[in-house]
Structure 1
Amino acid sequence: MNIIEKRKTWFTISIIIILAGLLAMPINAFMGNGILNFDVEFIGGTVMEVNIGQDFDIANDIRPVVVEITGDENPQITRSGAQGVSIKTKSIDPETRAKLYNALKDKYNLDGMNDLLNVDDVSPTISTEMQLKALQALLVSSILMLIYITLRFKDWRFGLAAVLPLIHDVFIVLAVYSIARVPVNNSFIAAILTIVGYSINDTIVVFDRIRENKKVAKKGDLEGLIDKSVSQTIVRSINTSITTLVTITMLYFLGVPSIKEFALPLIVGIISGTYSSIFIASPLWYEFHKKSIAKTA
């Protein structure tokens, strides 16, 4: 495989996707939609609890009514008790609340005195402190991985070339959230941290093979060394990712909305992680190695 020869192509593909996501953020903000589609957990909202008093279907009966009246494309609707429903949306005014309840009242012939159990504003469940802690966890884990890989391979270039693709994967996932307006909720933080932990595995496998082949490779033939090492590990990397993707994809198509919101970023992250392990990490190591040689020449 000509991984190194076409490295500029791989880098360009990633840069285009990341830039598209970054550009979509201010565009969304200018249009009044926010840089990202933050869910109720991040920005707070309104919760309404209603006793339906009969069987109902959330996806086909409740959700369309809520979306139409509130304009919130991603309301959180769950069952409350045997025949009750809890509806969480972005903040809505009293007039909209009344309109929503009246629509449910007419649809299910509710008793206006007893069936509206509760309606109130709620604060964000994901605080600024929690967001900062998640960023700290991401930063600390990246630094520790950088140190560990550098010590294990006895070469800082391996460590840096392994950690930078993790940042690449995070930005790719952010680009998808920005462009596709995927709701950003508590699943987002868990998914990002999971992706970082998963993505590093394939990279280490490739780097291990590079280190082994380096002992017998022709001196100075870095391109041949990397292309050979990637070719020897690419089938394993792709098969591992496909196996994981099958499971996560089934969760996405068959799971409830909360599971789908967690599965989607994982799908994107796994694809991005496999791509970066093969087409980004090794070319980065090549660039760092080449620059080091040029400085000492």
Structure 2
Amino acid sequence: MPSTLTATRGSLTVAGATRTFTLVGTTTPGEAKPLVLVFHGSRQTGDKHRAFTGGVYDALAARGALVAYLDGYRGNWNDARRESRFPARRADIDDVGFARAVITTFASDRRIDPSRVYAVGYSNGGQMVIRLAHETPGLLAGATVIAATMPAPENFLAGDAPWAPLPVLLIHGTKDPIVSYQGGTMNWALRTLFKVGGSSWSATHTARYFAERNGITSEPSTTRLPKTTTADPTEVERTTYQAEGVPPVVLYTIHRGGHTVPGPSSAPAIIGKTSHQVDTADLITRFFDL
């Protein structure tokens, strides 16, 4: 569904390089709104990801947040996978600094509340959010990771970083042809195409990992959500890890879903089915109370 919200292009300088983004929502100094940073997938830009998802995150701006669709370097983010070798890694792009700079810029005149900054990432962008969650304790109020899983320890560059408990929302399709729900290593063709390598954990292992980092040791509860449309073959299962006094972790398993973002717009069929049973913006709104 196309957005009728105001979208403006912006730029700033980070480590001597010009970085760009598209901001959706109104910015009035002194309002101190929540900020949502959106990290796109490989070979996308912020605007391309916005179109790819049918503007699903624009709904967060309509509900009062500012949404910044950030642009990676030549289509990628310098994530924390040891065997990444795309241009952002080879050039050692400071994407952590980019995220910090965007937050600082909009916090300087209280257009955003720096204590209410949320990151949403898809695929390579999800890996970037995983890096931020580990390397910038206290920077984020919440993280959403879509179609990405934790790198295995030997493939992770940020494993020794300090950890601050953080609510984490995970969304992954069981038929994802690019980032397997079951984990493991990409096949040779995908490793060559996306210039990545190394092993990653399964979606369920990833959820348990974040839960344990938050201090949750009890078993999760799992609920199969009712179907909202019979025309859509996907089904959604919610697994919730929670304990008193610590942030929760929730995994939405999209049965028969692909390398896609649930919402109003269907991704190309080559990367699998897009679920319309749930809307990612709605899941984010409820989970983080935006």
Select the structure with the greater relative contact order (CA < 8 A; seq sep ≥ 6). Answer: 1
Structure 1 length-normalised TM: 0.23
Greater helix proportion = 1
Greater strand proportion = 2
Structure (1 or 2) with the larger CA radius of gyration: 1
